[in-house]
Structure 1
Amino acid sequence: MPHLQIGPHTVTPPVVLAPMAGITNAPFRTLCREFAGGRGLFVCEMITTRALVERNDKTMQLIRFGPGEQPRSIQLYGVDPGTVGKAVRMIADEDLADHIDLNFGCPVPKVTRKGGGSALPYKRHLLRSILREAVGNADGLPVTIKMRKGIDDDHLTYLDAGRIAVEEGVTAVALHGRTASQHYGGTADWEAIARLKEAVPEIPVLGNGDIWSADDAVRMMRETGCDGVVVGRGCLGRPWLFGDLVNVFAGSPERTRPTLRQVAVVMRRHAELLGEWLEDEARGVIDFRKHVAWYTKGFAIGSQARRDLAMASSLAALDELLAGLDLDQPWPAGAEGPRGRTAGAKRVVLPDNWLADPWDVTAAVTAEAESDTSGG
């Protein structure tokens, strides 16, 4: 079975769960890991460096890992080199994680308008400063980055960013094959992943974008030569995808095609795990609501049943609603394909004069750019 080397950590198969805000918390990571038999790398949702350094209560909860999570992986988002360095040093000194990823892929306007996320790699010197602080304070922990192709097709940054990452000691790079202006629309450019691999042969390159099935992952690696894959929206409502990924890389044709009854069992467990994690059953079930449409996509349950499930506020109510469905339905033909955000091309909101000079950093990047909104 192929593997991915992230510093001292051997990841088999070469599969990484992408950080997604409000999604890849400990309960969801638990489900994905269980289906994968503990194999792969599962990253917690994005953490802002400022909130970590300030020991924000919510942030400290988000970085709690289960006893079986190894390696423990945190994705950080930051815009100020000094703050990023402090956050990484805190992680290293307090043994909070075994791997640190840095997010340069967020296309959300309230982030890019401050020069953060997918806007930041355009300022090459700023990117280098952040990476230097992160690697220099990591005390040997592997530091990786996730990025997009660039701001738009006229302002591509990924090849320069990849070379800067190599020069600053970054362990691996992941590329989402879209620009910030594409958001999540259109088709991911896998050829860009291949070009990045050619440009940075010294370190592993991971591909991200439009992996909806295990076979997509194998095809991406075959077509691009990348060293591993990052799975984001493809596992929404499909945590068993990681079991399929283990199988496909082991050469097994076996794929999970659950009945609605089997899906209902996973849904119930997901909601229960959220309640345990939040120490409040109602909050857990309410937090689970966002997952209902993803789990039930393609099944014939009716719009009213979906609405009712998405309004449940207790496990008993969820159990009753699930029991009322036609649970003997087989896996539907329409269950595959895009889920989650699918918004198409948008103008990228940037600070004034941001594009005037890719080397000038006088355009201020402020702490306001740090947001708890993820993406990439």
Structure 2
Amino acid sequence: MESLKLGSLEVWPPVVLAPMAGITNAPFRTLCREQGGGLFVCEMITTRALVERNAKTLKMIRFGPRENPRSIQLYGVDPVTVGRAVRMIAEEDLADHVDLNFGCPVPKVTRRGGGSALPYKRNLFRAILREAVRNAGTLPVTVKMRKGIDDDHLTYLDAGRIAVEEGVAAIALHGRTAIQHYGGTADWAAIARLKESVPEIPVLGNGDIWSADDARRMMDLTGCDGVVVGRGCLGRPWLFADLAAMCEGSGERRRPSLGEVAATMDRHAALLTECFGSEPHAVADFRKHVGWYLKGFVVGADLRRRLATAESLAGLREGLAELDPAQPWPDGVDAPRGKTHPRDRVHLPAGWLDDPYDLAVPEADAELDTSGG
């Protein structure tokens, strides 16, 4: 297996942590990075917020001294603003790699023409990529996208060719349409078709990677050059140890006991406290991780509830101390995590599907603090 080459960057193993809002902050990236190498992308930020130097946004793109390469994912709908944001990153040395998000399926994004709705507008998509690459200097620019809006409006092959023509360094494809959201089964065959269509640049596969063995199967079946892992690592930063072992040709897999999981939960909450500078804020933010960490383990409902409603590190640690440290890793947890329901329809701006070559920029409030893909 070869390393992933993104311009001048060489990434080994060819594994990418997908940006997830409220998840892939510096503490979570630290936990994942300690397990194995790869590319660990920060939470998605909007280009408008970056160029306006929004204080919250600038905090989100802080990287630790050991984070290398530093990776930022941008979301934008205006070519000019995207270009300014990328130039700012390059000139101020804010990151080593820029990814552009065209995969977000959230209704409040797609109804404004952003995220997974945008590649349908071929000329606007091209203009955004052109401005990003032109302003990036030596930084590699990559793209993450979905198959399209729905099965009647697939865009990934056209978008792939446009990306190659505009100098994008790699493409990550989530094998679902926007209407699928995270439901159903990811279409790995589409990843294979994209790889065949754009042999000039690396193609990364995303969707339904719940284990290192899933990643191996995806790469074997599609010929993709690497994998992007999102929901599969929720509550499981050690998945990156499994992925590193898989890329080295090893069948070794991490199966931590409940005691090891509890220690990781404790450290995760402590890192959040250090990052946020507020223990109540950090512990409240950590609550959403509790169910993911404990998935499959035998833990009483009352204890789960107390852990998921803890208000302080002391309260959290009190509950963690009640867990059975010898309980082994449960079977059957290499399965979907997070929300999996499809959508009834994709919310789009009025007349969005009328002209796929319209270059009009979506309305200004299309850039929201929402991530996903």
TM-score (norm 1): 0.98
Find the partner of 1:348 among 346, 349, 358. 346
Displacement after TM superposition at 1:282 (Å): 2.1
Q: How does 1:162-177 map to 2 (within 5 A)?
A: 162-177=160-175
Match of 2:316 in 1: 318
The one-letter code of the counterpart of 2:156 is: Y
Aligned mates of 2:328, 2:70 — CA distance in 1: 36
Match of 1:121 in 2: 119
Give the root-mean-square deviation of aligned CA atoms.
0.9
Match of 1:206 in 2: 204
Helix, strand or coil at the partner of 1:155: coil
Displacement after TM superposition at 1:313 (Å): 1.7
Helix, strand or coil at the partner of 2:280: helix
How many residue pairs end up in the alignment? 373
Helix, strand or coil at the partner of 2:93: coil
Displacement after TM superposition at 1:327 (Å): 2.4
Unaligned runs of 5+ in 2: none
Displacement after TM superposition at 1:33 (Å): 0.4
Match of 2:331 in 1: 333
Contact (CA 8 Å) 1:207, 1:230: kept in 2 or not?
A: yes
Q: Sequence identity of aligned pairs in percent?
A: 74
Aligned mates of 2:79, 2:301 — CA distance in 1: 48
Aligned mates of 1:373, 1:303 — CA distance in 2: 31
Displacement after TM superposition at 1:326 (Å): 2.2
Match of 2:260 in 1: 262
For each residue in 1:127-155, what CA deviation from the matched residue of structure 2 results, as whole angstroms up to 9, or x when unmatched?
00000100000012100000000000000
Q: How does 1:168-317 map to 2 (within 5 A)?
A: 168-317=166-315
Match of 2:7 in 1: 7
Helix, strand or coil at the partner of 1:334: coil
Match of 2:366 in 1: 369
Aligned mates of 1:248, 1:361 — CA distance in 2: 44
Find the partner of 1:55 among 53, 62, 86. 53
Runs of 4 or more off by more than 3 Å in structure 1? none
Aligned mates of 1:79, 1:114 — CA distance in 2: 9
Helix, strand or coil at the partner of 2:179: helix
Aligned mates of 1:209, 1:302 — CA distance in 2: 32
The one-letter code of the counterpart of 1:374 is: S
Aligned mates of 2:78, 2:162 — CA distance in 1: 17
For each residue in 1:302-330, what CA deviation from the matched residue of structure 2 results, as whole angstroms up to 9, or x when unmatched?
22221111111211111110111222211
Helix, strand or coil at the partner of 2:253: coil
1:21 is the counterpart of 2:21 = yes
Q: How does 1:7-86 map to 2 (within 5 A)?
A: 7-36=7-36, 39-86=37-84
The one-letter code of the counterpart of 2:139 is: L
Aligned mates of 2:343, 2:350 — CA distance in 1: 21
Contact (CA 8 Å) 2:28, 2:268: kept in 1 or not?
A: yes
The one-letter code of the counterpart of 1:365 is: P
Unaligned runs of 5+ in 1: none
Aligned mates of 1:184, 1:255 — CA distance in 2: 26
Aligned mates of 1:51, 1:373 — CA distance in 2: 12
For each residue in 1:322-357, what CA deviation from the matched residue of structure 2 results, as whole angstroms up to 9, or x when unmatched?
111222211111322011121223300001111111
Displacement after TM superposition at 1:44 (Å): 0.3
